[in-house]
Chains A and B, each alone.
Chain A
Amino acid sequence: EAGVTQSPTHLIKTRGQQATLRCSPISGHTSVYWYQQALGLGLQFLLWYDEGEERNRGNFPPRFSGRQFPNYSSELNVNALELEDSALYLCASSFYRLGPTDTQYFGPGTRLTVL
């Protein structure tokens, strides 16, 4: 069974640009979660999508946004990039309908570097 996949592996942008990160969940999973792992800040919850809807959002500014497509894959968009957005962005998926605490399985991440 294929795991969670993310693309690209690495992304280099300059300040002010926009970045788009992509995630494909495990087949059958309906929920996608995004986390930011920044140096010194640890892992922080960004966004949760389920059945195409944004269900929860972490303490991040509105320039962090995303969406979930009908096939349950997801995009994370970061607008007006700032240097502190440099981080590893992890995507996770779960089958929410099994129960609200179904285990989240993670992808390998996208390393975003903002110059």
Chain B
Amino acid sequence: AQTVTQSQPEMSVQEAETVTLSCTYDTSESNYYLFWYKQPPSRQMILVIRQEAYKQQNATENRFSVNFQKAAKSFSLKISDSQLGDTAMYFCAFMRNQGAQKLVFGQGTRLTINP
């Protein structure tokens, strides 16, 4: 079974700073997908970024980028020039390439951006 671990329950940074959220996972699969979702206080889960394991290039979406280290089974999220609207719970998630179609989530990191 796959597991996802987020070792930072809470983080807090000042607006405009850069912050990195950590995620490690355990799997015996070679093809899989990794995701970062954010859940603001409104509860709506929003996709931040997605990474295919077969791609060596790290995914980037505007201020959000990942550092994907397949051998180390690490998938960290970097938020540059953080904004107040980035305040949310961030969840790292894993999905196998075939079969189950279920997302396996980490426990989440509560990120607060301070003015």
Contacts and interface: CB of A to CB of B under 8 A. Distances in A.
Interface of A: 31, 33, 35, 42-45, 48, 55-56, 58, 88, 90, 92, 96, 100-101, 103-109
A69 to B, nearest CB: 19
B101 A31 contact: yes
Given A42-B107, A90-B45, A103 B35 contact: yes
Contacts of A100: 97-99, 101
A45 B102 CA distance: 6
A105 B97 contact: no
Given A101-B95, A108-B42, A55 B101 contact: yes
Contact of B47 (A56, A96, A105, A107): A105
Q: Main SS of the interface on chain B? A: loop
Interface of B: 33, 35, 37, 42-47, 50, 52, 91, 95, 97-108
B47 A33 contact: no
B101 A33 contact: yes
Contacts of B106: 42
Given A42-B108, A56-B102, A58-B102, A101 B33 contact: yes
Contact of A103 (B47, B99, B102, B107): B47
A48 B102 contact: yes
A30 B43 CA distance: 23
16 contacts: A33-B102, A42-B107, A42-B108, A43-B91, A43-B105, A45-B102, A48-B100, A58-B102, A92-B45, A92-B103, A100-B97, A100-B98, A101-B33, A101-B52, A105-B47, A108-B43
